[in-house]
Amino acid sequence: MDKKDSLWDLFQQKNLSRRTFLKTCVAITGILGLSPAMVPEVVAAAEKKPLVPVIWLHGHECTGCDEAFIRSQSPLASDVVLNMISLEYSDTLAAAAGEPFEHHLADIMKRYAGKYILAVEGAVPLADEGIHCMVGGKTFLAALKEAAKGAAAIIEYGSCAAWGGIQAAKPNPTKSVSISDVLGNSIPIVKVPGCPPIPEVMTGVVMHYALFGQLPPLDSKGRPKQFYGNRIHDTCYRRPFFDSGMFVEKFDDAGSKAGWCLYKVGCRGPEAYNSCGNLRWWNGLSYPIQSGHGCIACGNNNFWDNGPFYERLPNIPVPNTIANADKVGMVAAGVAAAGVTVHGLLSAVQKRSSHSDNSETRRTQA
């Protein structure tokens, strides 16, 4: 088997300093959502761990996940592809094409059997024996099963790969399903849903495996906890408006212009788990809620079929109870009214106390 260089080997080949290497390792630790205490382990892995081979397949999809990936800023997608992994096959990002490229794929699967990461973008159509998606003269279904046999781990990039996506939306004429629906649990799989996923989440997941040789800690749905551990609702900068019962009723009303909570116009933030509220998009520039549109929960299973995007969720689970926007608003209004009343009473008491003190002072002076 060909010997693969480590990240530190590449730094030395390019005459980059040890200081630059260590700074890069510190940055990678932060990007992966790891504790600062993990920096020595990241450095050790980057010094010795050979660059992991990656095969990237495309099925029923729109290539939006590729478009997101190449826009990663921390780390740059170019650094990931050229310096941190060994991307051996991607029929979208590669310069090569045709039969020689397909022969290369077969050679890589044989040479690195059991050691490569299989990244998959897109759903798998099962209807009519899979003929609704053909790549290199093979059905995507056949190509996927063949590549999965020698994979050490599989990354499902995007909601199409993770859940079936828009291809699996009703009535689903091609009988499209997720990657794990086809492959089962025989191989370690991590889901990175989103339509598309956040670029830095995509690069962060593959970097974690490249450094540590294992998938990151996963939640009950198979998603990496460091990126899907919080609800959009809990990291949203508009959350105080929700808690105060201040909601946008129409997209052109005063509340919309003032940046109030978008829950009543369909925001799915209370049921969506993702990193949009803290990582945001395009190097932290913005995300849909910041631009004035509610979250559509694009990382959720069956999000295309989960009702009209501009109808509000019926209720929101809160610890030990269920509250909806109307109740929250009523409570907020009641608290505000009570606050005004208490403030008025305290002001009156303070004024009366001050008046009594002044009167006592005047009697003492007399």
Contact 280, 236 (CB under 8 A): no
Rounded to 10 degrees, the C-alpha dihedral 295/299/302/307 comes to: 0
Query: Which of 299, 313, 364 lies closest to 162 in space, CA to CA?
Result: 299
| 7-212 fold | Rossmann fold (3.40.50)
What average pLDDT does the structure give for the chain?
Answer: 85
Domain ranges of the chain: 7-212, 230-318, 320-360
**Cα torsion angle, 211, 161, 88, 72, sign:** negative
| Helices (H), ranges, 164-287 | 179-183, 199-212, 225-228, 232-235, 239-243, 254-258
pLDDT tens-digit readout, 292-345: 999 999 999 999 898 788 988 876 654 444 455 555 544 544 544 444 444 444
Q: Counting every residue, how long is the chain?
A: 366
pLDDT tens sequence across 166-208: 999 999 999 999 999 999 988 999 999 999 999 989 988 998 9
Which residues are part of a known binding site for [3Fe-4S] cluster?
276, 295, 298
**CATH number 4.10.480.10 given to 230-318:** yes
Beta bridge partners of 189: 154
Annotated binding site: 62, 65, 160, 195, 233, 236, 261, 267, 276, 295, 298
Is the pLDDT reported for residue 247 higher than 80?
Answer: yes
Percent of the chain past pLDDT 70, that is, above it, reads 85
Q: DSSP character for 322?
A: E
Pick out the residues of the known binding site for [4Fe-4S] cluster. 62, 65, 160, 195, 233, 236, 261, 267
d(CA 206, CA 77): 11
Q: pTM of the predicted model, to two decimals?
A: 0.81
Over residues 262-280, mean pLDDT:
93
The residue type found at 216 is: P
Tokens describing residue 247: 């909601």
